[in-house]
């Protein structure tokens, strides 16, 4: 059930029987020449919404902005500094804790948020001893990981991956057109935003999103939902 589709008495009633919630976080950033800017937010919120229905829990609205300074040389990217991101996530978690939520599973859609999420959790824990938080990247559970490897192997790459593009194809029909793409950038490291663009000229990191299909996207979504649902149930039971 979506929190933003609930009334406060409904939330109060739910809290009497269950104190867990899902919080999707994403990013608005370039995803190669064919991928949508909202890829990380669309995927994280779709996975979290479906998990919430599956296990009958609440899901908070997605935070659509992440730590994405390195993508700022591509138009449309909207980046938060790590400090702003941590403040926004921290305030959200403090709000949830004040109402009595005790377990928050963050469903993350953007790898660049991971370090900041860890820092927020470590900072909040001493101040809010009843609250426990965990973050999961939706594509890293056992089922999703195995499926990504079977479907795409090394052509999955690291950014604007065929798996995340496939999921958005399933979620936003007709917006992504398969195109034949040249070789992606394959550098091992990068510096600032302009260096990223110099090394990965079309935004992709070693990925081939032209392999993505709607059918793959539906399968990946289902796999990710099963992974995250399993983790959520274990997390709230612990």
Measured from the CB of residue 164, what is the shortest distance to Ni ion in angstroms?
5
Binding status of residue 208 toward Ni ion by CB under 5 A? no
62 secondary structure, DSSP code: P
Using alpha carbons, select from 162, 173, 169, 176 the residue that is nearest to residue 210: 162
When CB distances to Ni ion are compared, the closest residue is 40
Coil, strand, or helix at residue 67? strand
Phi, psi of 31 (to 5 degrees): -130, 55
Distance from C-alpha of 112 to C-alpha of 39, rounded to nearest angstrom: 14
Closer to Ni ion by CB, 92 or 168: give it.
168
Max intra-chain CA distance, the chain: 55
x/- binding map, residues 100-139, to Ni ion, per CB under 5 A? Answer: ----------------------------------------
Restricting to residues 29-58, name those near Ni ion by CB under 5 A: 39-40
Burial of 162 (0-12, 13-18, 19+ CB in 10 A): buried
Listed ranges 72-80, 136-144, 161-169, 189-197: which one lies at the site for Ni ion (CB under 5 A): 161-169
Closer to Ni ion by CB, 40 or 227: give it.
40
x/- binding map, residues 162-191, to Ni ion, per CB under 5 A? Answer: --x---------------------------
Check the CA dihedral 23-29-30-34 and report its sign. Answer: positive
Closer to Ni ion by CB, 19 or 207: give it.
207
Closer to Ni ion by CB, 11 or 78: give it.
78
Measured from the CB of residue 227, what is the shortest distance to Ni ion in angstroms?
17
Listed ranges 12-20, 60-68, 88-96, 159-167: which one lies at the site for Ni ion (CB under 5 A): 159-167
Distance from C-alpha of 196 to C-alpha of 202, rounded to nearest angstrom: 10
Distance from C-alpha of 3 to C-alpha of 11, rounded to nearest angstrom: 8
Residues that bind Ni ion (CB under 5 A): 39-40, 164
């Amino acid at each position: 059930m979506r929190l933003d589709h609930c009334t406060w008495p409904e939330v109060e009633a739910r809290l009497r029987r269950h104190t867990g919630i899902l919080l999707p976080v994403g990013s608005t950033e370039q995803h190669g020449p064919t991928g949508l800017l909202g890829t990380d937010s669309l995927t994280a919120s779709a996975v979290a919404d479906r998990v919430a229905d599956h296990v009958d829990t609440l899901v908070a609205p997605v935070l659509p902005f992440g730590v994405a300074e390195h993508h700022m040389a591509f138009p449309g990217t909207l980046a938060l500094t790590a400090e702003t991101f941590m403040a926004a996530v921290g305030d959200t978690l403090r709000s949830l804790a004040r109402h009595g939520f005790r377990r928050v599973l963050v469903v993350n859609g953007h790898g660049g948020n991971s370090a900041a999420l860890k820092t927020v959790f470590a900072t909040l824990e001493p101040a809010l001893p009843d609250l426990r938080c965990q973050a999961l990247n939706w594509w890293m559970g056992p089922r999703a990981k195995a499926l990504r490897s079977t479907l795409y192997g090394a052509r999955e790459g690291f950014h604007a991956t065929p798996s995340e593009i496939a999921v958005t194809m399933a979620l936003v029909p007709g917006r992504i057109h398969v195109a034949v793409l040249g070789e992606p950038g394959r550098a091992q490291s990068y510096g600032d935003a302009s260096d990223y663009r110099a090394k990965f000229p079309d935004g992709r990191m070693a990925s081939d999103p032209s392999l993505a299909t709607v059918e793959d996207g539906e399968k990946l979504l289902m796999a990710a939902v099963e992974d995250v649902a399993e983790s959520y149930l274990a997390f709230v039971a612990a």
